[in-house]
Amino acid sequence: MEALVEGELESGTGLNQEVGIKRPSDTRWGSHFSSLLNIKNIYSSICEVLEDLGRDNSDRDRKAEAIRILRSLKSFDFVFCLHLMVDILGITNHLNTTLQRKDQDIVNAMNQVSSSKRVIQEIRDVGWEPLLGNITLFCDKHDVRIVDMEHEYYDGFSRRRGSQDGNVNNLHHYHVDVFKAVIDMQLQELNHRFNEANMKLLLCIACLCLHESFKAFDLDKLMEMATLYREDFPTEYDLQVLEVELKNYIKDVREDERFNQLKSIGELSKKMVEAQKHIIYPKVYLLLKLALILPVATASVERAFSAMKLIKTDVRNKMGDQFLSDSLVSYIEKIVLDSFNNNTIVKLYQAIRSRRVQL
């Protein structure tokens, strides 16, 4: 209400809805970004609630816990880490959301990965001063004591000793030990999961995409992909044969109407077998098989494994494999099941066998 009166917020339909502390996601694909962002947005309200609990004398344990949490929230260390993680997780959360889209193609996905790496690196290079400025404004607004960056860093228990040159001050701790260390860990994780070789291989596989009459087809990249599988294409002769087959193959499938409605590489390989083209282009078919056997775990697979602990609990731990599979399909494919009405399901079960009563 105070923000509306002072003009800091605008009123209107769908604006300024009530916000709570978001529960973290149960899956590994989830991010804590939304949780931290909500804490940042309702920081003052959280502090007010904790202050009220700290004055409650009816429950001493709850009072002591509230005072302890409030002391942590009102510390510069917490505010600094909160702002830093909101900035970093904001980038990776967008990347996670992009990669989980079912209609996302490999080229756009890899471009998004490269873009996220560049943005994080830019924060490391020139993001310190803007971050510190935002933290200072936040601390002034919420009455959080700002530490002197030139003073010796104190972690609350003992003063940390640095190198032989002297003690570590607050500037070195927050700028080097926290800010740069966290960003370097994030970049290292992204580089490990999406290294140059993996990204190059995925971009080469994207050239097999069927959309818009094989628009993404690139002979040079597919030949580069073949060179990564030396056991399957061991000699220069094999590579030359593959190049000739690829040139003939792309003209053939573009003119064949049977290949117009396909949507995936898996469907393409099946159609090649049905049309006996895997015999005509054996090297191309081998390249398709190599693309299909890559160990790729999608977000849907991750959600399926996460759903198991919700379906097969300690109380229901003796269910058979078939019942577990049926339950998982019903739980995961909620959108599909919503398209069926209850009457259709009742009629289906009624028709399975004769019953004493009408369902």
Amino acid, single-letter form, for residue 347: K
Report the candidate in 269, 232, 233, 235 with the shortest Cα–Cα distance to residue 253: 269
Rounded Cα distance between 114 and 99, Å, is 13
Rounded Cα distance between 229 and 295, Å, is 15
Q: What's the pLDDT at 26?
A: 47
Report the candidate in 200, 212, 222 with the shortest Cα–Cα distance to residue 107: 200
Q: What is the pLDDT along the chain (359 residues), one digit of tens a residue?
A: 777 777 776 776 656 555 666 665 544 445 688 888 888 988 998 999 999 888 877 888 888 999 999 999 999 999 999 999 999 988 888 888 777 776 556 667 777 888 899 999 999 999 999 999 999 999 999 999 999 988 888 766 554 444 444 578 899 999 999 999 999 999 998 888 887 777 777 778 778 777 767 777 888 888 988 888 888 899 999 999 999 999 998 998 888 888 887 777 778 888 889 988 889 999 999 988 888 776 555 556 666 777 787 888 877 777 888 888 888 888 888 888 888 888 888 888 888 888 777 77
Alpha helices in the chain (DSSP H): 2-5, 33-41, 43-54, 60-73, 76-99, 106-126, 128-141, 170-172, 181-193, 196-205, 211-214, 219-227, 236-255, 265-274, 277-280, 282-292, 299-311, 321-332, 334-337, 342-352
Q: What's the pLDDT at 127?
A: 92
Which letter does DSSP use for residue 119 in this model? H
Rounded Cα distance between 255 and 197, Å, is 34
Residues whose CB falls within 8 Å of the CB of residue 126, separated by 6 or more in sequence, listed in order: none
Q: What's the pLDDT at 178?
A: 93
Report field, pTM of the whole predicted structure over 0.85: no
> Do you know the residue count of the chain?
359
Neighbours of 206 (CB within 10 A): 21
Contact 302, 314 (CB under 8 A): no
Q: What's the pLDDT at 162?
A: 44
Report the candidate in 242, 346, 327, 254 with the shortest Cα–Cα distance to residue 285: 242
Q: Encoding tokens for residue 95?
A: 């990347």
Q: Where are the domains of the chain?
A: 22-194, 208-292, 299-352
